[in-house]
Amino acid sequence: MAVLIASNLRKELSGDPLFDGVSFKVERRDRVALSGPNGAGKTTLLRALMGETSLQGGDLAFQKGTRIALHDQRPPLERGLSLREYVLSGASDLLALEDELRRLEQAMAQGDHADATMRRYGEAQARLEHAGGYDWRERATAVLRGLGFGDEDLDRRLETFSGGELTRASLARALGGDPDLLLLDEPTNHLDVESLEWLERELQSLDAGILIVAHDRWFLEAVANAVLELDAGRSTYFAGPWHEWRIEKAARLHAASKTADRIGADIERLERFVARFRASTEKMARKAQVKMRQIERYKQERSKATDQIELLTRRSKKLGFEFLKPPRSGRTVVEADGLTVQIGDRVLLDDVSFAIERGEHVALVGPNGSGKTTLLETILEKREVQGGSVRLGHGVEAAYFSQQEMELDTRGSVLQCVQRATGLQRPDAQKLLGRFLFSGWGEHEKPVVALSGGERRRLALAIVVASGANLLVVDEPTNHLDLESREALEAALEAFPGTVLLVSHDRALLDAAAQRTLAVEDLHLNSYDGGWADYVREREARSAPPPAAEPKPAKPPKQRAPRKPAPSELERIEAQIAARESIVADLERRLADDWNDVETLAAHRQARDELQALLQRWETAFERAQT
């Protein structure tokens, strides 16, 4: 049964439609990724489902008794509660349910065995069992542990926590209340990889319907089994995982393009007919009139196809990345020998030795608080070495993109900041700012001290992109970036010919951009070849129990292997079909990343035609084989 059915929802802002005609259904065990460009109305839709904002049209139908929980980026209003009290306050219905069960048990003990009493007792007991029985409080605190809190944090008051910790507390409160419908707006923010992996497992196991807004592609791929996209005021629902939706969008664009081309050719043919015979004989003139009506219908069809193409290819304004070609450095870019990293008396890394060579793209991973940022700052001589040594190689020019944008010069305007940091002349600096969404005189002259956190992030990225450095040291570069801008950054880092040292919780970025992974493990750095997926496979292989030894089977007597018969015509064609299908599938995956790649579209079209020809050859060969 559906937890929620939404029909033709309409939301207006200042009289203008934000979205209209949005319809979808969420059943238990559905994990729906709510996708779309910034400003499409994703957060607004979640708050409308929660009842926090009104809709101007449409219907919402919830299953009777549905419990809804919303997690977004707003901090808790009440700061006087302890962490434990705040999380348990999200389960007020469970507290009320316990009181009701006690009252019903007392009534039954006093002889009340009416059908209504027994039925209500059964319903209340089933509801409590769904939440974990009388141990539901322990489950709620287990959620806190999964999100990185310790037992010592449970009785701390909320006012003593940081903003990121409060965001995690809000997520724990939403998860701990056993909702039937869970609404999550950017749940991956402020989570380290260990907590992200825990959250993925938790969401996969919940007996609830879930709507998720997230920019973490690895997370969406692991959790979502459906996609609801909001774009240009309209919605599209797709039942399937995230990567299949990307492929489907590419296929829809391809089909729409073919339809528009075919209709355009038909219009041209009919217009030639009309131009030739409109002033001819009466009979031919009547035919020309019929053709003109056909042309009008075709133009309407082409307009619809063009609108679909525009919708499928439309992009919100996004960042533009193109790193400058850097000067060549020495072979060894970073070298550490017996390095110790610590803050105060706390040792984070002990006796660490490693080297990074020219052109390597290296990911640095580890739990929150393990010393990743401190190590970066030690390498760049922003912190004193506590033991051992670390140095940059000959000719190394480093650019540092930090979590706090410490490198920004806060004197003067945005334009002045970029010019001082990069040495660019005014027109080039203005062009750079435009690519990073600072457009127009007002944006260029805005004081740096007045920028929001997201704006400071974009400005720092612009400076790093234009720095011309041959060593990029980037710490959490995807914070405050939407999904499309993350993909643009990923492509730029992949293509960067210099050296990269990257810290990020975006596992898709780590997997795509890194050729080697340095993992902080037990105060040491261990090196693994490859990106995130390779590191996870190696980590799981090390933690898996060794396979039980199997007795070696007795060797059979040697026999001469029979000669394999030559493959039949059918078998040869089937092998060619399998190879061609693999090529088509690979091209469709590439199209999912870039729907506007003309060369890939042409290659895809040719491969599909070749596959169709092979299938026809197979049918002919099959019919011959049957005769």
Residues 382-438: pLDDT tens digits? 888 989 999 999 999 999 988 765 567 788 899 999 998 888 899 989 988 888 778
The pLDDT value recorded for residue 575 is 76
At residue 163, the pLDDT reads 80
Which pLDDT band, with edges at 50, 70 and 90, does 280 fall under?
A: low
Instruction: Extract the tokens encoding 117.
Output: 């009493």
424 and 367 within one domain? yes
pLDDT digit string, tens, across residues 532-565: 989 988 888 877 766 665 655 655 555 554 545 5
What is the domain-level CATH number for residue 408? 3.40.50.300
Q: Which of 11-15, 25-29, 50-54 has the lowest mean pLDDT?
A: 11-15
Q: Which position has the token pair 């190590």?
A: 375
- Residues 176, 143 contacting (CB under 8 angstroms): yes
Question: Would you state the pLDDT for residue 332?
Answer: 94
Q: Of the candidates 154, 179, 204, which is a domain's last residue?
A: 179
Neighbours of 199 (CB within 10 A): 22
Q: How far is residue 35's CA from residue 32's CA, in Å, rounded to a whole number? A: 9
DSSP 99: H
> What confidence category does residue 367 fall into, taking pLDDT thresholds of 50, 70 and 90?
confident
Q: What is the pLDDT of residue 410?
A: 82
Phi-psi region of 107 (alpha: psi -120 to 50; beta: other; left: phi over 0): alpha
Per the domain annotation, does 74 fall within a domain? no
Which strands, in side-by-side order, build the sheet including 68-71? Answer: 68-71, 181-185, 209-213, 31-35, 226-231, 234-239
In a domain, 75, yes or no: no
Q: How far is Cα 587 from Cα 605, in angstroms, rounded to an integer?
A: 10
∠132-133-134 over CA atoms, to 5°? 120
Q: Cβ(414)–Cβ(463) under 8 Å?
A: no
Q: Range with the lowest mean pLDDT among 65-69, 264-268, 338-342, 582-586?
A: 264-268
In tens, the pLDDT along 104-126 reads: 777 777 777 778 778 777 777 77
Mean per-residue pLDDT for 579-598? 70
**Where a domain ends, among 143, 162, 179?**
179
**Residue 472 — pLDDT band, cuts 50, 70, 90?**
very high
Label residue 315 by pLDDT band (50, 70, 90).
very low
Please name the helix (run of DSSP H) or strand (run of DSSP E) that holds residue 3, with its range, or none: strand 2-13
Does residue 246 fall inside a structural domain? no
Integer angstrom CA distances of residue 616 from 416, 587, 602:
66, 22, 21
Q: Are residues 340 and 442 in the same domain?
A: yes
Compute the average pLDDT of residues 349-373: 92
- Would you say residue 480 lies in a domain? yes
pLDDT band at residue 286 under the 50/70/90 scheme:
low
Spatial contact of 407 and 400, defined as CB atoms under 8 Å apart:
yes
pLDDT score at 309: 54
Residues 174 and 194 in one domain: no
Q: What is the mean pLDDT of residues 515-529?
A: 92
Mean model confidence pLDDT for the chain: 81
Whether residue 62 sits in one domain with residue 29: yes
Across 27-53, average pLDDT: 90
What pLDDT is recorded for position 609? 74
471 and 379 together in one domain: yes
Per the domain annotation, does 377 fall within a domain? Answer: yes
The range of the structural domain enclosing residue 140 comes to: 80-179
Helix axes 598-626, 569-593, angle to 10 degrees: 160
pLDDT beyond 70 at 596: no
Same domain, 175 and 186: no
CA distances from 264 to 255, 295, 307 (A): 14, 10, 14
Question: DSSP secondary structure string, 370-386?
Answer: SSHHHHHHHHTTSS--S
- At residue 267, the pLDDT reads 66
Q: 410 is written with which tokens?
A: 């806060």
CA distance 465 to 462: 5
Q: Read off the pLDDT band of 458 (50, 70, 90).
A: confident
DSSP string spanning 305-363? HHHHHHHHH---------PPPPPP--SEEEEEEEEEEEETTEEEEEEEEEEEETT-EEE
Q: Is residue 264 part of a domain?
A: yes
Answer yes or no: is 190 within a domain. Answer: yes
Same domain, 51 and 134: no
Report the chain's terminal Cα–Cα distance, integer Å. Answer: 52
Are residues 505 and 455 part of one domain? yes
Residue 609, CA distances (Å) to 294, 577, 587, 604, 612 in order: 30, 12, 13, 9, 5
| CB contact set of 394 (below 8 Å; sequence gap of 6+) | 329, 330
Pair 369, 501 in one domain: yes
At 83-92, the pLDDT tens digits run: 988 888 877 7
pLDDT, position 273 = 57
pLDDT at residue 524 is higher than 80: yes
The share of the chain scoring above pLDDT 90, in percent, equals 28
Global model pTM greater than 0.75: no
The average pLDDT across 487-494 equals 83
pLDDT at 297: 72
| pLDDT mean over 76-96 | 80
Q: Tally the residues of the chain.
A: 627
259 and 372 together in one domain: no
Q: Is residue 327 part of a domain?
A: no
Give the pLDDT mean for 13-31: 91
Query: Which pLDDT band, with edges at 50, 70 and 90, does 211 fall under?
Result: very high
* pLDDT at 316 exceeding the cut of 50: no
Give the integer Cα–Cα distance in Å for 256 and 286. 32
Q: Are residues 537 and 621 in the same domain?
A: no
Look at the block and give the residue holding tokens 């394999």. 564
Q: What is the total count of domains within the chain?
A: 5
Q: Are both 483 and 531 inside the same structural domain? A: yes
Element (H, E) at 235: strand 234-239
Strands 68-71 and 57-62: unpaired
